[in-house]
């Protein structure tokens, strides 16, 4: 189908100022990705998939400026024993990073991936993204594959002793950043990947994840709360037999966030949980778009998204479970809920099931509501002040999403941070 003129013009306008970077041995993948961008066109306001999220500022040639957040809080995961890989406005910073050698894993910068013994990273770069446009186009991911300036290839051969922690600093008010990571978890290995930080004024990140049979990936991400930052992220995961992928994302503020997650359960008996907790207080927009394809027998998928919104914040959830004809005994669950703390906030949800197998159990639900007045009265009748009671109920609302984090100490850290944010909000 020919692109409409407006879309073509916007796409070419964006591309006109960009040149394909020469990084590692990704040239072929980048050229192919550029062709995909041109044929799909960058997202426009009239695209059904962008019905509730305006893509304009993600597409326009110049990144809108984003003031740096003057916070005094300690970055997430500080003090935790981890392998730190730091990017400042999208550029790897060896000085702030740890030594990348860690037993069981191999970490290479994109520019070095040709030096690796085999070509797994080169092969994976752009592969899952290219396969991830059916049935919905994700042109901003293709744009990322074409133009990513930096990123890492992480190969997990054996379970490492500590989490790998990707840290993104935002230090320039007009940084426009593309990062692209590829991750392969080999058979039987288990790893935790952490991500945190605001990253850039405009951040486009893509992560391609290949989990071999019996591999396990835990992913916990805390997206920075710089008020004016914009982010569009894609995770493409391909999962083998009996593999496990558990991902949790905390999103707080940020003028615009669109997180897309695409998972392809290709092997039997695999388990994927994608969860998100989001807190928007002000003119912020958070969009979680998830697409899970069941193509193996007896796989389990869960999507759990909770959004707390107030003072004009908007939450969006688009989640789909697609069960292919042979994916019998699929267990699919999806819940998306918003807690609207005032009348100024909005939540849009589009839960979808598309099922072609007959022996499956899939359920989904979506709700939007205010604080439970009965519960609030009960707490107050026991002496808990109104504000504190509201916080407790807000945290309780988010709990189901936080429960998806397997590591209790990480879950606790996130819970405590949320608690502190809520209390600070009350006390100014």
Partner 1 sequence: MLEIKGLKVKLEEEDKQILKGVDLTVEAGKVHAIMGPNGSGKSTLSYVLSGRDGYEVTGGSATLLGEDLLDMETEERAAAGLFLAFQYPVEIPGVGNMTFLRTAVNAQRKARGEDEMSAAEFLKVIRAKAKTLKIDADMLKRPVNVGFSGGEKKRNEILQMAMLEPKMCILDETDSGLDVDAMKLVSEGVNALRDEGRGFLVITHYQRLLDHIKPDVVHIMADGRIVKSGGPELALEVENNGYADILAEVA
Among the listed residues 328, 249, 285, 367, the one whose alpha carbon sits nearest the alpha carbon of residue 56: 285
Q: Which is nearer to partner 1, 124 or 401 (CB)?
A: 401
Residues 6+ apart with CB under 8 A from 12: none
Q: Which is nearer to partner 1, 81 or 373 (CB)?
A: 373
Count Cα atoms within 13 angstroms, Cβ side, for 59: 21
What DSSP assignment string belongs to 31-42?
Answer: HHHHHHHHHH--
Closest separation in Å from C-beta 331 to partner 1 = 22
Among the listed residues 126, 399, 131, 132, the one whose alpha carbon sits nearest the alpha carbon of residue 260: 132
Interaction with partner 1 in 57-86: which residues (CB under 8 A)? none
Which string of x and - marks every residue 239-278 that binds partner 1 (by CB under 8 A)?
----------------------------------------
Closest separation in Å from C-beta 416 to partner 1 = 13
Among the listed residues 264, 44, 256, the one whose alpha carbon sits nearest the alpha carbon of residue 133: 264
Closest separation in Å from C-beta 124 to partner 1 = 39
Q: Which is nearer to partner 1, 71 or 387 (CB)?
A: 387
Closest separation in Å from C-beta 296 to partner 1 = 33
Q: Which is nearer to partner 1, 228 or 391 (CB)?
A: 391
Q: Which is nearer to partner 1, 93 or 372 (CB)?
A: 372
Residue 399, φ and ψ in degrees, nearest 5: -55, -40
* CA-based R_g, the chain, Å: 21
Q: Which is nearer to partner 1, 181 or 273 (CB)?
A: 273
Among the listed residues 76, 407, 73, 349, the one whose alpha carbon sits nearest the alpha carbon of residue 217: 407
Q: Which is nearer to partner 1, 74 or 381 (CB)?
A: 381
Tracing tokens 């807690």 back to the chain, one arrives at 339
Element (H, E) at 165: strand 164-169
Identify the bridge partners of residue 249 per DSSP, sorted by sequence position.
Answer: 221, 276
Interaction with partner 1 in 342-401: which residues (CB under 8 A)? 372-375, 377-386, 388-389, 392-393, 395-400
Stated length of the chain: 428
Q: Which is nearer to partner 1, 112 or 372 (CB)?
A: 372
How far apart CA 195 and CA 224 sit, in angstroms, is 10
Identify the bridge partners of residue 309 per DSSP, sorted by sequence position.
Answer: 280, 340
How far apart CA 175 and CA 1 sit, in angstroms, is 34
Tokens of 351: 């839960």
Q: Which is nearer to partner 1, 382 or 427 (CB)?
A: 382
Closest separation in Å from C-beta 105 to partner 1 = 36
Residues 6+ apart with CB under 8 A from 389: 376, 379, 380
Mode of pairing for the β-strands spanning 271-281 and 244-252 = parallel
Q: Which is nearer to partner 1, 38 or 388 (CB)?
A: 388
Among the listed residues 65, 72, 100, 74, the one whose alpha carbon sits nearest the alpha carbon of residue 86: 100
Closest separation in Å from C-beta 399 to partner 1 = 4
DSSP, collapsed to helix, strand or coil, labels residue 123 as helix
Closest separation in Å from C-beta 307 to partner 1 = 15
How far apart CA 8 and CA 31 sit, in angstroms, is 18
Closest separation in Å from C-beta 308 to partner 1 = 12
Q: Which is nearer to partner 1, 299 or 418 (CB)?
A: 418
Interaction with partner 1 in 283-322: which residues (CB under 8 A)? none
How far apart CA 103 and CA 162 sit, in angstroms, is 10
Closest separation in Å from C-beta 391 to partner 1 = 10
Q: How many residues line the site for partner 1 (CB under 8 A)?
A: 24
How far apart CA 254 and CA 206 sit, in angstroms, is 18
Closest separation in Å from C-beta 383 to partner 1 = 4
Mode of pairing for the β-strands spanning 105-109 and 152-156 = antiparallel
Closest separation in Å from C-beta 70 to partner 1 = 31
Interacting residues toward partner 1 by CB under 8 A: 372-375, 377-386, 388-389, 392-393, 395-400
């Amino acid at each position: 189908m020919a692109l409409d003129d407006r879309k073509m013009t916007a796409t070419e306008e964006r591309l006109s100022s960009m040149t394909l970077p020469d990084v590692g041995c990704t040239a072929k993948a980048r050229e192919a990705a550029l062709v995909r961008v041109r044929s799909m066109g960058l997202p426009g306001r009239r695209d059904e998939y962008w019905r509730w999220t305006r893509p304009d500022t993600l597409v326009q040639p110049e990144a809108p400026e984003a003031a740096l957040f003057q916070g005094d809080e300690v970055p997430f995961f500080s003090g935790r024993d981890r392998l730190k890989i730091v990017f400042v406005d999208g550029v790897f910073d060896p000085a702030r990073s740890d030594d990348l050698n860690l037993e069981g894993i191999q970490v290479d910068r994109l520019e070095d991936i040709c030096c690796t013994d085999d070509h797994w990273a080169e092969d994976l770069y752009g592969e899952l993204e290219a396969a991830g446009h059916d049935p919905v186009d994700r042109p901003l991911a293709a744009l990322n594959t074409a133009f990513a300036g930096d990123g890492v290839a992480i190969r997990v051969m054996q379970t490492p002793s500590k989490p790998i922690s990707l840290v993104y600093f935002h230090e320039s008010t007009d940084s426009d950043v593309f990062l692209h990571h590829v991750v392969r978890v080999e058979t039987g290995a288990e790893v935790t990947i952490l991500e945190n930080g605001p990253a850039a004024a405009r951040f486009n990140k893509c992560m391609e994840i290949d989990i071999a049979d019996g591999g396990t990936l835990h992913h916990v991400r805390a997206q920075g709360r710089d008020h004016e930052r914009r982010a569009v992220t894609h995770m493409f995961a391909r999962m083998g037999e009996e593999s496990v992928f558990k991902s949790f994302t905390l999103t707080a503020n940020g003028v615009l966030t669109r997180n897309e997650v695409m998972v392809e359960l290709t092997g039997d008996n695999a388990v994927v949980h994608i969860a998100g907790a989001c807190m928007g207080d002000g003119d912020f927009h958070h969009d979680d778009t998830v697409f899970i394809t069941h193509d193996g027998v007896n796989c389990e998928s869960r999507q759990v998204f909770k959004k707390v919104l107030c003072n004009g914040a908007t939450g969006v959830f688009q989640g789909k479970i697609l069960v292919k004809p042979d994916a019998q005994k699929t267990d699919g669950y999806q819940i998306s809920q918003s807690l609207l703390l005032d009348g100024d906030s909005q939540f849009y949800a589009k839960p979808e099931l598309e099922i072609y197998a007959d022996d499956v159990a899939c359920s989904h639900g979506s709700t939007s509501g205010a604080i439970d007045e009965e519960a609030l009265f009960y707490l107050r009748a026991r002496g808990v002040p109104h504000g504190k009671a509201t916080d407790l109920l807000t945290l309780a609302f988010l709990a189901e999403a936080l429960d998806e984090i397997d590591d209790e100490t990480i879950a606790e850290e996130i819970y405590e941070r949320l608690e502190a944010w809520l209390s600070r909000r009350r006390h100014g």
